[in-house]
Structure 1
Amino acid sequence: MRNPGSLSKWGMWRGVYGLIFVLGVVALMISIATLIRFYSLSLFLGTDNGNDSELGKTIEDVIRKINVELKELRKLSVDKLEDESRRERVRYITFLAEILTSMESMNVFHPQMDRLNWEGRGTGTEGVHPLSKTTQESDKVAEFFLVEEIRKYVKIKPNRLGRQNFMGANGTFTSIGHACFLMKKELEEFMDYDVGDFCRDDWKLAQLLMVHGCDPLPRRRCFSRAPKLYSKPFPINESLWKLPDNRNVRWSHYRCKNFACLASNRTGKGFFKCADCFNLTHHEVPRWKEIVGLDANSNSTADFLIAEVLEIKAGEIRIGLDFSVGTGTFAARMRELNVTIVSATINLGAPFNEMIALRGLVPLYLTINQRLPFFDNTLDIIHTTRFLDGWIDFQLLDFVLYDWDRVLRPGGLLWIDSFFCLHKDLEDYLDAFRMLRYRKHKWVIVPKLDKHGQEVFFLCCTREATKAILILYGV
């Protein structure tokens, strides 16, 4: 049996050697950085082939040693370690990985190494690394922020092997939304965390950034928080029309603290755009299945049924997108008809994304600021309700409609539901939809009863033989 004292002594010496190794690597990097500061990179690396070779060997040797150390650390069992020891181990591994990335980046940009001969490989001519012109610009962007995690994220990451990857790129260009620079304080707060630890419960800050144009957000290297008492979801044959378990949502940032509150008729629930959509039994069940808004005076309705819409393209509608404020009821109804719908929404005062997922449907956490993450001519149908209406800028509406037209396949459906606007703006919005040049299928205008004629819904179904069908109406 091993002596416990010898084990602790071995662990102590291992820690000492590890510290010496890290300090040595840091000293080497400082030395290299100092030399580069006082000499141009071309003079430092290009005047003496012998020195170039030695420097290249030194860098490769350091990379090899760091890789060995990382492998040893990752082999260590963490089951018996205390929480603090685990965190220290993660931080140490992360630190070494960052040094390794920096050293490999220097290795990639070394002009005398074979991996840099991108265009002149085998021809005797030297190629220029494709990232060399953009690295300085990337560094300038990184220097705008003070938090180190943002700096590391936005810098260009050259490929480790010094050649193009399978996607045809020489490196990874991580991106953030341009408005992130206008929300520097909020973004730095979002990215201020301990690597390998748990993230703060700050999804509301993330959504604030996204809605205001800091979208896409940078990735983070921390673990997202989950509900403390998560229970398994209901089976799919129950989950579509049953309120989920309250334990499966983090309620800290919502005014209501359970689904019963969200489904009730009380006011002040924290959201207004979809006030009754958590009421599955009364409000949601008849939607798109039964006509509930028939006007006795005009005998017109602001309701189209899913069955009659699908009949327009019988047997052709299989996949699509619902870009709405809702709990996934449209996707649930379509699922019953063997049509797969992805539901895009954000959490406007209530757990809409969680609700959609717990019903057994697919949520897509997406704002109106982003280009749709689908390839051209791939979707059979796009539906939207309670989202596009008289608040939207005309130019933004143009960009949105053209993007939706891009992802719809020839002969697909664009179904715009519950579009309302001021009566005086009606013609302007109609012109925006006419711009698509779809042939009309239906076109109805219905007054919004609670606004005394000042606002209207309009309903239309237009069609173009080679592209799409457009359906507009209000409820």
Structure 2
Amino acid sequence: MRKPSVFAKFRTCRGFGRFFFAVGMLGILFSIAMLSKFYSLRSLHISRTFCDGAGSENQDRVRTEARATLEAVIQKIEREIEGMANPRSGSSSSSSHYIGFLADILGLIGSARSSLESTGEIIGTHPLVKPKQRSDEPVDYFLIEEIRKYVKIKPNRLGKQNFMGANGTFTSIGHACFAMKNELEEYMDYDVGEICNDDWKLAQKLMVHGCDPLPRRRCFARAPQLYYKPYPINESMWKLPDNRNVRWSQYRCKNFTCLARNVTGKGFFKCADCFNLIGHEKPRWVKPVYIDSSTNQTVDFVIPEVLAIKPGEIRIGLDFSVGTGTFAARMWEFNVTIVSATINLGAPFSEMIALRGLVPLYLSINQRLPFFDNTLDLIHTTRFLDGWIDFILLDFVLYDWDRVLRPGGLLWIDSFFCLKEDLDDYLEAFKTLRYKKHKWVVIPKEFLRTLPEDTMFARAFHCKSSVDTWLQSKTKA
């Protein structure tokens, strides 16, 4: 029998080497994939506002070392691949070489993994990455099946991209929803296809505390038992709606007459006289109130003089206020379409706006405005954006308003109550927009003491020392 030639032995050795290399590369890819999943969970950590400052520096150092190790792994693999593509003359591959190479790579990966695991539990981390609840998917954090189904990625049928260029639908919930797990699970605990619970108050609590936007639900919204058709549009604007058209179970008042009389106590919600359509609401923005009749001093801007600033240009806008839609009703009389953004602070504001024939937008201050850039002619706010708001939050709100206002649009900040010592700081916040100022009035608190006692109480709730009315025009491109 002929002995195998040297070349045959060499070919066999090379075959073993390729086999070990292929197996090794699969092992490397698998290890890196597992490590990347583990490492990606670190991005779920809440920012340093919620984390322990003492441990954050050490965590940064460990993450830096882990990144450096992973970079070394990648460089080694790239050099090896380059060496295989351009083999040196006279060199031969061997199984021992590849075994040593793989051992070196796996050692580096193990070192990086140990560094990451050594950090342990971080105080204030996201609930998803706590040791006993660690999971690769947010869906595993919740127990209610409807939440799990909602947040789970829904792949497209047939594995094709949809018309938006995505391979699946990614539904999400806000990060604050994880901190309010019990409330969210109560909100999502229902029978599919049945009537929802009367839990709008729970839903609004979730929204106000940052769980916004809420997940969709697969149950039918509960409606009033005896719904009566709304009044015609020529009547509904200045007439109290039918009481049967609202679910009153969550309110102190049980009818619109009670709300109009404000008999539940002063300051029970932010707009105490908003349901008094004839006595309080109808004169607003068309008939100025003079604080001192001898000087004709007033804090009110009336709609005709505001529209005269941009004749024919103001067509659509947003009213971000606590109210019953009176501003939108008045602007409708001047052929201007206004969407009213509000929440139900102690009274059925959204229902009232809709029953008047206007458009309510159920929106908290936490959420980005659902309008495209540079589209609105006017943004108006009253009795909502004032001296309670944090300066950083105010910045985010103002810049979002600037985003949706078109060049030349008007920003109307109406009845801004604040402490005297805070006035300059708020003025600086408004000045950062660099808008052209059209009208500006500051009224000290002393002038307001001539108002009726009930009105004084409602406005004193805003801890003001002055009432500021601001009307600007967005002039920058």
Task: Give the structure 1 partner of residue 475 of structure 2.
Answer: 465
Q: CA offsets per residue over residues 376-425 of structure 1, 9 Å max, x none? A: 00001011000000000000000000000000011111111110100000
Q: Cα distance, 1:185 vs. partner?
A: 0.5
Compared with structure 1, are the counterparts of its residues 207 and 227 closer, same or farther at alpha carbon in structure 2 (3 Å cutoff)? same
Are residues 1:355 and 2:352 paired? yes
Compared with structure 1, are the counterparts of its residues 434 and 312 closer, same or farther at alpha carbon in structure 2 (3 Å cutoff)? same
Task: Give the structure 1 partner of residue 417 of structure 2.
Answer: 420
| CA distance, structure 1, for counterparts of residue 264 and residue 179 of structure 2 | 35
Q: Check whether the contact 2:442–2:466 (CA below 8 A) recurs between aligned residues.
A: yes
Q: In structure 2, what residue type is equivalent to 1:294?
A: I
Task: Give the structure 2 partner of residue 82 of structure 1.
Answer: none
Q: In structure 2, what residue type is equivalent to 1:455?
A: S
Task: Give the structure 1 partner of residue 178 of structure 2.
Answer: 181
Q: CA offsets per residue over residues 422-450 of structure 1, 9 Å max, x none? A: 00000000000001111222222101335
Q: Cα distance, 1:313 vs. partner?
A: 0.4
Compared with structure 1, are the counterparts of its residues 336 and 464 closer, same or farther at alpha carbon in structure 2 (3 Å cutoff)? closer
Q: In structure 2, what residue type is equivalent to 1:457?
A: V
SS at match of 2:297: coil
From 393, 396, 401, the counterpart of 2:393: 396
From 153, 156, 161, the counterpart of 1:156: 153
Q: Cα distance, 1:348 vs. partner?
A: 0.3
| CA distance, structure 2, for counterparts of residue 458 and residue 203 of structure 1 | 34
Q: CA offsets per residue over residues 244-301 of structure 1, 9 Å max, x none? A: 0000000000000000000014242783310001000110010001012433475421
Q: Check whether the contact 1:317–1:381 (CA below 8 A) recurs between aligned residues.
A: yes
Q: CA RMSD in A?
A: 2.2
Are residues 1:214 and 2:224 paired? no
Unaligned runs of 5+ in 1: 1-41, 44-136, 468-475
Q: In structure 1, what residue type is equivalent to 2:420?
A: H
| CA distance, structure 2, for counterparts of residue 386 and residue 225 of structure 1 | 30
Tell me the TM-score normalised to structure 1 length: 0.67
Q: Cα distance, 1:463 vs. partner?
A: 3.7
Q: CA offsets per residue over residues 176-198 of structure 1, 9 Å max, x none? A: 11100000000001011111111
Are residues 1:191 and 2:188 paired? yes
Are residues 1:201 and 2:198 paired? yes
Task: Give the structure 1 partner of residue 62 of structure 2.
Answer: none
- Report the number of matched residues: 334
| CA distance, structure 2, for counterparts of residue 246 and residue 200 of structure 1 | 21
SS at match of 1:364: strand
Q: Who wins on radius of gyration, i.e. which is larger? A: 2
Task: Give the structure 1 partner of residue 53 of structure 2.
Answer: none
| CA distance, structure 1, for counterparts of residue 276 and residue 295 of structure 2 | 29
| CA distance, structure 1, for counterparts of residue 245 and residue 164 of structure 2 | 38
| CA distance, structure 1, for counterparts of residue 144 and residue 290 of structure 2 | 54
Compared with structure 1, are the counterparts of its residues 437 and 216 closer, same or farther at alpha carbon in structure 2 (3 Å cutoff)? same
| CA distance, structure 2, for counterparts of residue 306 and residue 323 of structure 1 | 16
From 341, 353, 369, the counterpart of 1:372: 369
SS at match of 1:440: strand
SS at match of 1:406: helix
SS at match of 1:277: coil
From 381, 405, 422, the counterpart of 2:378: 381
Q: CA offsets per residue over residues 107-155 of structure 1, 9 Å max, x none? A: xxxxxxxxxxxxxxxxxxxxxxxxxxxxxx9962011111111111101
Unaligned runs of 5+ in 2: 1-25, 28-133, 450-455
SS at match of 1:410: strand
Q: Check whether the contact 1:262–1:269 (CA below 8 A) recurs between aligned residues.
A: no
| CA distance, structure 2, for counterparts of residue 256 and residue 270 of structure 1 | 14
Compared with structure 1, are the counterparts of its residues 195 and 462 closer, same or farther at alpha carbon in structure 2 (3 Å cutoff)? closer
Tell me which moved more, 446-455 or 350-359. Answer: 446-455
Compared with structure 1, are the counterparts of its residues 464 and 379 closer, same or farther at alpha carbon in structure 2 (3 Å cutoff)? closer
From 272, 275, 297, the counterpart of 1:278: 275
Tell me which moved more, 213-222 or 258-267. Answer: 258-267
Alignment of 1:266-305 (within 5 A): 266-268=263-265, 271-296=268-293, 299-305=296-302
Compared with structure 1, are the counterparts of its residues 297 and 390 closer, same or farther at alpha carbon in structure 2 (3 Å cutoff)? farther
Task: Give the structure 2 partner of residue 233 of structure 1.
Answer: 230
Compared with structure 1, are the counterparts of its residues 464 and 413 closer, same or farther at alpha carbon in structure 2 (3 Å cutoff)? closer
Compared with structure 1, are the counterparts of its residues 290 and 298 closer, same or farther at alpha carbon in structure 2 (3 Å cutoff)? same
Are residues 1:456 and 2:466 paired? yes
| CA distance, structure 2, for counterparts of residue 220 and residue 265 of structure 1 | 35
Task: Give the structure 2 partner of residue 339 of structure 1.
Answer: 336
| CA distance, structure 2, for counterparts of residue 404 and residue 299 of structure 1 | 33
| CA distance, structure 1, for counterparts of residue 295 and residue 320 of structure 2 | 30
Task: Give the structure 2 partner of residue 142 of structure 1.
Answer: 139
From 404, 408, 411, the counterpart of 2:405: 408
Compared with structure 1, are the counterparts of its residues 197 and 351 closer, same or farther at alpha carbon in structure 2 (3 Å cutoff)? same
Alignment of 1:12-51 (within 5 A): none
Q: In structure 1, what residue type is equivalent to 2:470?
A: C
Structure 1 residue runs of 4 or more that deviate by more than 3 Å after TM superposition? 296-299, 450-454, 460-467
Compared with structure 1, are the counterparts of its residues 142 and 198 closer, same or farther at alpha carbon in structure 2 (3 Å cutoff)? same
Q: Check whether the contact 2:410–2:472 (CA below 8 A) recurs between aligned residues.
A: no
Q: CA offsets per residue over residues 340-384 of structure 1, 9 Å max, x none? A: 110000000000000000000000000000000000000010110
| CA distance, structure 2, for counterparts of residue 354 and residue 462 of structure 1 | 31
| CA distance, structure 2, for counterparts of residue 295 and residue 267 of structure 1 | 32
Alignment of 1:122-137 (within 5 A): none
Q: Cα distance, 1:459 vs. partner?
A: 2.8
From 308, 313, 316, the counterpart of 1:319: 316
Q: In structure 1, what residue type is equivalent to 2:361?
A: L
Q: Check whether the contact 1:271–1:350 (CA below 8 A) recurs between aligned residues.
A: no
Q: In structure 1, what residue type is equivalent to 2:465?
A: E
Q: In structure 1, what residue type is equivalent to 2:417?
A: F
Tell me the TM-score normalised to structure 2 length: 0.67
Q: Check whether the contact 1:139–1:155 (CA below 8 A) recurs between aligned residues.
A: no
